[in-house]
Amino acid sequence: MEDKIISQAVIGRLPRYYRYLGDLKDSGIERISSQDLSKLMKVTASQIRQDFNNFGGFGQQGYGYNVEYLYNEIAKILGLHYKHNLIIVGAGNLGQALANYVNFERRGFIVKGVFDINPELHGKELRGVPVQPIENIEEFVKANDIDIAVLTIPKDGAVKTAEVLVRCNIRAIWNFAHVDLNVPDSIVVENVHLSDSLMKLSYGISKFDNSN
């Protein structure tokens, strides 16, 4: 599996499969056919089979998929069986929202440190984790086995912080700043550009206006 290149589109769909399978599992459903999963998720059964074939299939023909097995296998592919230590840079509303979101911790993403430029926030605790000055990032990341940095700060600060994080050999950046970060390819960057998302929504509304 390591040698096989899986398309970004397939990877992008895995979390959604994982979410639906989790709901099925929580509802006590043990098996599901690709047809039923297809109806539930509103994608074609052939798409589901093709996606799963990238990972060797998972399927038992005629019996459908074992929900818990499939859920666990997708978790492994997504790397959710490992714990990841993370820091949040920016203790504003968005940083606080993420720090307080207990589901992330349940999935193995542990908030170890929170940093902010604002001295008034220093020492304030978010779920038991004190906010520290932004100057402490480099030392903290190196000393605490931090994999992931979450950037919830404005774009100028995000660009500067990314440079620090590159020096610390951070493995991944979850970037909420409204800017594309320029980091080596060995660092995984996942962007959440909220303004871009809102613009797509706005486009959708305009399109309906134009077509009516």
Q: Which is nearer to a second copy, 44 or 60 (CB)?
A: 44
Q: Which residues bind a second copy (CB under 8 A)?
A: 1-2, 11-12, 14-16, 18-19, 41-42, 77-80, 82, 84, 92-94, 96-98, 100-101, 103-104, 107, 109, 147-148, 171-172, 174, 178, 180, 186, 188, 190, 192-206, 208-211
Q: Of 153, 193, 150, which Cα lies nearest the Cα of 172?
A: 150
- Closest separation between CB of residue 163 and a second copy, Å? 18
Q: Which is nearer to a second copy, 41 or 168 (CB)?
A: 41
Half-sphere exposure of 39 (CA within 13 A, CB side): 4
Packing angle, helices 45-53 and 34-41, rounded to 10: 110
Answer for the pair 168, 141: CB distance below 8 angstroms, yes or no.
yes
- Single-letter code of the amino acid located at 8: Q
Answer for the pair 88, 114: CB distance below 8 angstroms, yes or no.
yes
Q: Which is nearer to a second copy, 135 or 178 (CB)?
A: 178
Q: Which is nearer to a second copy, 135 or 145 (CB)?
A: 145
- Closest separation between CB of residue 63 and a second copy, Å? 26
- Closest separation between CB of residue 205 and a second copy, Å? 5
- Closest separation between CB of residue 151 and a second copy, Å? 12
- Closest separation between CB of residue 138 and a second copy, Å? 20
Q: Of 25, 30, 33, 24, which Cα lies nearest the Cα of 62?
A: 33
Q: Which is nearer to a second copy, 101 or 160 (CB)?
A: 101
DSSP E strands in the chain: the ranges are 31-32, 65-66, 84-89, 109-116, 125-126, 129-133, 148-151, 172-175, 188-191
